[in-house]
Amino acid sequence: MEAAYRRDPERIEVALAFRRLDPSAVGSSMPPGSPGVLRFLSGLRFPFDGRIALTLDAALEPRRARLKLVGGPGTVRVAAVPGQALAIKRLRAAIAVDRDEDRIGLQLVSLDMGRGAVRVRGEVRGLHGAGRADLTVSVTDLPVDEVSRYWPEEVAADVRRWVVDNVRGGHV
């Protein structure tokens, strides 16, 4: 792990690079009542390499963050996805958060599962109120018979039910 920082009167910039970080160790050490995103880390069972760049204001409040990650192989356990932990061959992510613009930019979030891949690009706006997500999600090479494993039951429930009951064989 390596870190650097730069300070001027108005802001502090911090950069952190890491290799083979185990997010499950971080998440499992969080006390009850910790933010959900930190507890979510306990379900990520694969190593990450990455870089984080933070810009803090004079009061040490985060204003901007940029994150680049590469990880895998391993598993992810997500409460919204029914069944067992999902096997992940490789994860890549490039994300930017800007509190002043009230947005999260997903330049790329890519999960390669070995038998299928999911890619997400777009942005989420309105982090401090009524939010809006403009996302492009693509699924490639996923066996149709496994769609139900990755599609949360609460998301477009009627459509999910019809697809699971009526579409068989092939790949998405």
Mean pLDDT taken over the chain: 84
Same domain, 64 and 20: yes
Cα 12 to Cα 6, 8, 49, 89: the distances in Å are 6, 6, 23, 36
- SS3 sequence, the chain? CEEEEEECCCEEEEEEEEEEECHHHHHHCCCCCCCHHHHHHHHEECCEEEEEEEEEECCCCEEEEEEEEEECCEEECCCCCCCCCEEECEEEEEEEEECCCCEEEEEEEEEECCCCEEEEEEEEECCCCCCEEEEEEEEECCEHHHHHHHCCCCCCHHHHHHHHHHCCCCEC
Rounded Cα–Cα distance for residues 132 and 23 (Å):
28
State the sign of the Cα–Cα–Cα–Cα dihedral 57, 62, 68, 74.
positive
Same domain, 7 and 35: yes
For the chain, the C-alpha Rg in angstroms (whole number) is 18
Same domain, 10 and 58: yes
Same domain, 23 and 87: yes
Same domain, 20 and 81: yes
pTM (2 d.p.)? 0.74
Summarize pLDDT for 5-25 with one digit per residue, the tens.
666 778 888 899 999 988 888
41 or 116, greater pLDDT: 116
Rounded Cα–Cα distance for residues 99 and 64 (Å):
6
Same domain, 11 and 32: yes
Same domain, 44 and 123: yes
Summarize pLDDT for 16-67 with one digit per residue, the tens.
999 998 888 876 666 666 666 666 677 888 899 999 999 988 888 889 999 9
Same domain, 98 and 60: yes
Q: What is the pLDDT of residue 152?
A: 76
For the chain, how long is the longest CA-to-CA vector?
Answer: 62
Q: How many domains does the chain have?
A: 2
Same domain, 86 and 169: no
Rounded Cα–Cα distance for residues 163 and 63 (Å):
42
Same domain, 152 and 99: no
Same domain, 95 and 165: no
Same domain, 34 and 115: yes
- Give the structural domain span for 171: 144-172
Other CB atoms within 10 A of residue 59 CB: 5
Tokens read off for 151: 């599609």
